[in-house]
């Protein structure tokens, strides 16, 4: 006698669908409409989150025959699943044996060539991922001229499985179809904009679609030589751009026409400073470039006057043949440059090569120093995408999600980057301060290199001509600082050049 004769498809659906391990068992039983299984009474409770409807299913049988009809599962948002299933050992054994073993895969991952130190740090991410996913190996390659080679690899049908991309180039690459959209991956993983630093997420999109996952955030601040400050009667760092120029002129030393000590270089952080003066480089509503925005023109006017007073050619001569800040004998290390604008990763080379420099840290100065202007700062960095034609997109996504979402803080600590996942900011700060140690000079200033103080929301526009536009704007800004062009006229010309290019590339893809 079959006491479950009334168990129809409709009743099963009404009571819920079995999820997790139970779903596998029912699917195995339901493979044929007439499957009959005699089971002993064994009740297991399985609690697991899976993307199916809420399920509470009870199948209890004492030496009875159960007829199971085919059930179609409709996937929905992730919810709790509680399943009570009666199973026979032999059935379970067959199901486990039938589950596919993960295939052994090697994914090729590209990163920009950052030099031996930082390349080696990125290998920490690969090692962590391989430990968590033993069936996937990461062939990490650090590529000079990565953008050029990425375009060639996609065109040739042999791209990496995942690759670094930058805030400058990403919009153009997405427009050209170099990257696959990631919206479906992100949606299934519950990854949304509100979980990330907004400017980093927006830099990773193109026309409303996600084409990369934010990786490392660059929180840029200003180191200043505090001993030089006190020497010229200054104490606090500049809060406004006018104060930055005023302080720089006090710090300036010359031997005849030769600059022997410099304050701020007008070429430093130009886009950041334009944003911090209230400028915009792109109008989202009209989809047009805006280098002629009053905030951009005003920034150029202010620093043109400063640059002209110092003479741009003398500024260039000062930096001629000088080592960078990560090398021994840099101008900042020797007290010849009062400022250094970079991220927290400068700690190590400063400890090695500028151990005697008494430095303080402040944020990049804004127009008036008002608190609300801190949102005008920029938090930009790098991202990872999956190129079109990648051989292992699923494994590539797991690699990206593991490093840049699930373990954003750990990745950032181990690679000397800033995390982009908001909920992991404090974890990263705590771990970094523990590693740095309370006695290190940078410890008291570390908040300036985090989202706690840097509230920047601005980013370079992710558009089809992002790289071209930035190059043209940079060339024009230099002409302004050299006194060869007036700011308003120069920016009007950039607007025309960039607009013509934007029209041309859009037509080429029409």
pLDDT tens digit at each of 510 positions of the chain: 443 333 333 333 333 333 333 333 333 333 333 333 333 333 334 434 444 433 333 333 333 333 333 333 334 343 333 333 434 344 434 444 444 667 899 999 999 999 998 999 999 999 999 999 999 999 999 999 999 999 999 999 999 999 999 999 999 999 999 999 999 999 999 999 999 999 999 999 999 999 999 999 999 999 999 999 999 999 999 999 999 999 999 999 999 999 999 999 999 999 999 999 999 999 999 999 999 999 999 999 999 999 999 999 999 999 999 999 989 999 999 999 999 999 999 999 999 999 999 999 999 999 999 999 999 999 999 999 999 999 999 999 999 999 999 999 999 999 999 999 999 999 999 999 999 999 999 999 999 999 888 889 999 999 999 999 999 999 999 999 999 999 999 999 999 999 999 999 999 987
Distance CA 228, CA 263 (A): 10
Q: Which residue has the tokens 């990125």?
A: 122
Query: What is the 8-class DSSP label of residue 268?
Result: T
Please give the DSSP secondary-structure letter assigned to residue 405. I
In whole angstroms, what is the distance from residue 123 CA to residue 134 CA? Answer: 16
Longest dimension (CA), the chain: 109
Tell me the C-alpha to C-alpha distance, in Å, between residue 287 and each of 170, 179, 212. 17, 22, 21
Q: What's the CA gap between 221 and 347, in Å, rounded? A: 12
Please state the pTM of the whole predicted model.
Answer: 0.79
Give helix 89-98 / helix 20-29 axis angle, nearest 10°. 100
Query: Domain residues of the chain, as ranges?
Result: 9-98, 105-217+379-438, 221-378+464-508
Instruction: Give the Cβ contact number of residue 272 at 10 Å.
Output: 20
Contact 322, 334 (CB under 8 A): no
List the structure tokens of 457. 């929301």
What residue ranges in 87-152 does DSSP mark as E strands?
105-112, 136-143
Domain 105-217+379-438: give its CATH superfamily.
Periplasmic binding protein-like II (3.40.190.10)
Class of domain 221-378+464-508: alpha beta
DSSP bridge pairs for 79? 50
Same fold, 105-217+379-438 and 221-378+464-508: yes
């Amino acid at each position: 006698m079959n006491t479950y004769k009334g168990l129809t498809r409709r009743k099963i659906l009404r009571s819920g669908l079995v999820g997790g391990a139970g779903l596998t068992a029912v699917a195995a039983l339901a493979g044929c409409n007439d499957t009959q299984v005699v089971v002993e009474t064994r009740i297991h409770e399985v609690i697991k989150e899976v993307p199916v409807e809420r399920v509470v299913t009870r199948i209890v049988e004492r030496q009875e025959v159960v007829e199971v009809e085919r059930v179609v599962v409709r996937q929905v948002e992730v919810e709790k699943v509680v399943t009570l299933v009666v199973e026979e050992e032999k059935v379970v054994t067959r199901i486990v044996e039938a589950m596919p073993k993960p295939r052994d895969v090697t994914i090729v991952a590209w990163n920009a060539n950052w030099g031996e130190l930082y390349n080696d740090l990125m290998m920490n991410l690969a090692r962590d991922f391989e430990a968590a996913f033993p069936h996937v190996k990461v062939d990490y390659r650090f590529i000079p001229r990565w953008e050029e080679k990425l375009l060639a690899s996609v065109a040739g049908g042999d791209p990496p499985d995942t690759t670094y991309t930058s805030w400058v180039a990403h919009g153009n690459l997405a427009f050209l179809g170099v990257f696959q959209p990631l919206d479906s991956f992100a949606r299934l993983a519950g990854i949304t904009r509100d979980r990330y630093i907004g400017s980093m997420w927006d830099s990773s999109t193109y026309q409303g679609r996600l084409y990369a996952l934010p990786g490392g955030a660059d929180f840029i601040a200003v180191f200043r030589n505090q001993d030089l400050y006190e020497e010229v009667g200054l104490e606090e760092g500049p809060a406004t751009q006018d104060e930055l120029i005023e302080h720089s002129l006090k710090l300036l030393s010359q031997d005849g026409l030769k600059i022997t000590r410099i304050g701020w270089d007008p070429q430093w952080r130009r886009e950041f400073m334009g944003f911090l003066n209230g400028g915009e480089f792109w109008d989202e509503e009209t989809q047009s470039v805006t280098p002629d925005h009053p905030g951009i023109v005003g920034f150029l006017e202010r620093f043109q006057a400063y640059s002209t007073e110092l003479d741009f050619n003398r500024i260039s001569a000062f930096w001629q043949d000088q080592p960078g800040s990560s090398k021994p004998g840099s101008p900042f290390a020797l007290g010849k440059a009062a400022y250094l604008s970079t991220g927290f990763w400068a700690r190590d080379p400063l400890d090695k090569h500028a151990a005697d420099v008494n430095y303080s840290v402040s944020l990049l100065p804004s127009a008036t120093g008002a608190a609300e202007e801190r949102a005008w700062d920029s938090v930009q960095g790098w991202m990872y995408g999956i190129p079109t034609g990648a051989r292992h997109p699923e494994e590539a996504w797991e690699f990206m999600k593991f490093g840049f979402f699930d373990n954003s803080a750990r990745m950032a600590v181990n690679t000397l980057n800033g995390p982009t996942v908001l909920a992991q900011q404090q974890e990263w700060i705590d771990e970094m301060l523990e590693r740095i140690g309370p006695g290190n000079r940078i410890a008291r200033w570390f908040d300036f290199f985090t989202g706690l103080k840097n509230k920047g929301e601005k980013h370079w526009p992710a558009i089809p001509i992002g790289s071209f536009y930035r190059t043209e704007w940079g060339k024009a800004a230099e002409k302004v600082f050299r006194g060869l062009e007036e700011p308003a006229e120069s920016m009007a010309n950039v607007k025309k050049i960039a607009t013509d290019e934007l029209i041309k590339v859009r037509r080429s893809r029409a």
